[in-house]
Amino acid sequence: MENQEPSKRPTVVIVSGPFQGHLSPMLDLGNVLYSKGFGVIFAHTVFNAPDPSKQPDLIFLPMQENLADHQILPGDIIALVNILNKNCEEPLKKGLSEIMNRLEPENQVVCIICDMFMYFSESVARDLKLQCMIFRTSSASSALAYHALSRLQTEGYIPRKDSALDDVVPGLPLLRFRDIPTADMGTLQDAIDLTDNICNTRTSSAIICNTVDYLEPDEIVQFQHIYPVHYFPIGPLHMIAPTSSSSLLEADTNCLIWLDKQAPRSVIYVSVGSLAILEKEELAEMAWGLASSNHPFLWVVRSDAVPESEWADLIPEGFMETVGERGCIVKWAPQKEVLGHNAVGGFWSHCGWNSTLESISAGVPMICWPCFSDQKVNSRYLSHVWKVGLELDHKLERGVIKESMQRLMAGKEGEEIRVRANDMQHKMKMSVSEGGLSYASLSDLVDFILSF
Ligand code: UDX
């Protein structure tokens, strides 16, 4: 199947949400399936559209989502997801029907693989008589935490008083209440309603997950009990996909030149991903925390990090003069290359699932500062289960930042963390190599799609 002639490829449709953390693994999935002999149609919103010129093997299908008719506040992901699910169904059905009418029988579409956030795709699959599979961009552990929300509400455990947030969650012994994704993306009811949709398999025949069996074996077993459909943990996809850029923002590659001048494992890389919104005061505290440590740092400050603020005003006055050449600030970095650079010794991260997988597979120890949703679960696993990161208190304080950086970048504790991070990196490589579990799971997925 791998060497399939272009004219003989059965086609798979991938429907992605418009978030960087979803587009990247779904484009990787598209490129992996292409390399396995499938034709791939990549359906995406017009808003945050990927650049087709960077993905020459995929066929792009834009879905007009008409966001201009709606008022969505910055960071209101739930409102955005609800609108996409209302507005994208017709464009997908129409666009796909047209393409299907043009395809030769040997290239016919065999299934739709939809982002867990784009659940409207299932009814399109049903109408077009196609199989549907769900792609989960996050971990099995976080899926279990989301799944538990409704039960915890019914049993009266949540909402919860601040003083009881460190209690262990009944049924999820590795998590505290502060780690579960509750009302930080809207109200608790909003989070439960979203969960009802993203955790419902409806008529889908399988779930594909960008995770690795050895990272969360027990959670994967529990997940399969809850969702008795075929399950394919095939991650981390960025390690198996042919390299291509899926970045929505232009990465500033000058930081790689700066990294070349730094000593091995001396730099802390700082990024809170593509969506997190910060207070100006938090940025100032980050800045002075970084300044007071003695380590070189590469810091990503997105231009929309603080809504309604000019980028130039986000960096405190006198900061660059204080840190001089020791600091490099960019609006967007080539993150995977940065993490793979030998000057980088630590990653202060918001613990988005992609950043988590990228850091583990580069063997880079972390400082965990989750902002919302699954990031809190990931942070807990990184710091207390896999023990490759240090947890940073959510309320940023420059003295605590300095201390955490010293603990991670110098000293015995940091050294022990680094040994574990190297071990995990090795296991990640094994998983995606022949004989590894993700490798086997991907072969099973290919066979499963061919059985349609
Ligand atoms: C969101 C949610 O925050 C996250 O919890 C969920 O798991 C996926 O969707 P995001 O904030 O985008 O994710 O974080 P993450 O999942 O880590 O993805 C960010 C991606 O952007 C990574 O692939 C990272 O390599 C890339 N990135 C980030 C860059 O290329 N350059 C940067 O400067 C910052």
128 DSSP assignment: T
420 and 438 belong to one structural domain: no
Tell whether ligand 1 has an atom less than 6 A from the beta carbon of residue 359: no
302 and 405 belong to one structural domain: yes
Residue 14 lies in a domain: yes
Residue 309 lies in a domain: yes
pLDDT tens figures, 144-195:
999 999 999 999 999 999 899 999 999 999 999 999 987 666 788 888 888 8
198 and 232 belong to one structural domain: yes
The pLDDT of residue 6: 63
Structure tokens at 260: 């070349």
- For residue 372, the CA-to-ligand 1 centroid distance in Å is 12
- For residue 133, the CA-to-ligand 1 centroid distance in Å is 23
pTM: 0.97
- For residue 432, the CA-to-ligand 1 centroid distance in Å is 21
pLDDT tens figures, 308-353:
899 999 999 999 999 999 999 999 999 999 999 999 999 999 999 9
Helices (runs of H) and strands (runs of E) counted in the chain: 18, 15
Beta carbons within 10 angstroms of residue 108's beta carbon: 12
Q: What is the average pLDDT across 86-92?
A: 97
The pLDDT of residue 8: 83
Task: State residue 270 phi and psi, 5-degree precision.
Answer: -125, 120
pLDDT tens figures, 53-67:
999 999 999 999 988
229 and 282 belong to one structural domain: no
Q: What is the average pLDDT across 212-228?
A: 95
Closest C-alpha to ligand 1, atom 26: 335
Kind and range of the H or E run holding 27: helix 20-35
Residue 403 lies in a domain: yes
Residue 149 lies in a domain: yes
Tell whether ligand 1 has an atom less than 6 A from the beta carbon of residue 297: no
Closest C-alpha to ligand 1, atom 3: 352
230 and 311 belong to one structural domain: no
For the chain, the straight-line distance linking the first and the last C-alpha, in angstroms and rounded, comes to 15
The pLDDT of residue 202: 84
Structure tokens at 249: 């923002």
Tell whether ligand 1 has an atom less than 6 A from the beta carbon of residue 282: no
Confidence class of residue 5 from pLDDT cuts 50, 70 and 90?
Answer: low
205 and 291 belong to one structural domain: no
Percent of the chain with pLDDT over 90: 87
- What is the separation of C-alpha 191 from the centre of its chain, rounded to a whole number of angstroms? 18
Tell whether ligand 1 has an atom less than 6 A from the beta carbon of residue 332: yes
240 and 269 belong to one structural domain: no
Beta carbons within 10 angstroms of residue 176's beta carbon: 16
Q: What is the average pLDDT across 202-224?
A: 95
Confidence class of residue 200 from pLDDT cuts 50, 70 and 90?
Answer: confident
Structure tokens at 320: 């660059």
Tell whether ligand 1 has an atom less than 6 A from the beta carbon of residue 24: yes
pLDDT tens figures, 6-31:
678 999 999 999 999 999 999 999 99
Tell whether ligand 1 has an atom less than 6 A from the beta carbon of residue 302: no
Beta carbons within 10 angstroms of residue 281's beta carbon: 10
Closest C-alpha to ligand 1, atom 2: 352
Is the confidence at residue 404, as pLDDT, over 80?
yes
Q: Residue 156: which CATH number?
A: 3.40.50.2000
The pLDDT of residue 396: 94
- For residue 408, the CA-to-ligand 1 centroid distance in Å is 22
- For residue 20, the CA-to-ligand 1 centroid distance in Å is 6
Percent of the chain with pLDDT over 70: 98
In one letter, which amino acid is 200?
N
Closest C-alpha to ligand 1, atom 23: 354
Name the residue with tokens 């990272």: 215
Question: Which ligand 1 atom is the nearest neighbour of the CA of 349?
Answer: 17
Q: What is the average pLDDT across 288-312?
A: 95
Question: Which ligand 1 atom is the nearest neighbour of the CA of 371?
Answer: 3
Q: Calculate the CA dihedral of residues 291, 375, 73, 77 and round it to 10 degrees.
A: 150
The pLDDT of residue 188: 86
* Best mutation site among 355, 372, 375 for ligand 1 pocket (most ligand atoms within 8 Å of CB): 355
Question: Which ligand 1 atom is the nearest neighbour of the CA of 273?
Answer: 11
229 and 258 belong to one structural domain: no
Confidence class of residue 135 from pLDDT cuts 50, 70 and 90?
Answer: very high
The pLDDT of residue 1: 64
Tell whether ligand 1 has an atom less than 6 A from the beta carbon of residue 383: no
Q: By C-alpha distance, which of 46, 48, 42, 52 is closest to 20?
A: 48
The pLDDT of residue 191: 85
The pLDDT of residue 333: 98
Structure tokens at 175: 């998590």
Is the confidence at residue 120, as pLDDT, over 90?
yes
The pLDDT of residue 245: 84
Question: Which ligand 1 atom is the nearest neighbour of the CA of 351?
Answer: 17
Is the confidence at residue 432, as pLDDT, over 60?
yes
57 and 28 belong to one structural domain: yes
Q: What is the average pLDDT across 216-240?
A: 96
Is the confidence at residue 2, as pLDDT, over 70?
no
121 and 195 belong to one structural domain: yes
CB 306 within 8 Å of CB 272: no
What angle in degrees, to the nearest 10, is found between the helix axes of 140-154 and 217-226?
A: 50
Provide ipTM, 2 decimals. Answer: 0.98
Q: What is the average pLDDT across 345-373?
A: 97
Total domain count, the chain: 2
CB 407 within 8 Å of CB 399: no
Q: Which domain holds residue 196?
A: 6-245+433-450
Confidence class of residue 4 from pLDDT cuts 50, 70 and 90?
Answer: low
275 and 383 belong to one structural domain: yes
Is the confidence at residue 74, as pLDDT, over 80?
no
Tell whether ligand 1 has an atom less than 6 A from the beta carbon of residue 300: yes
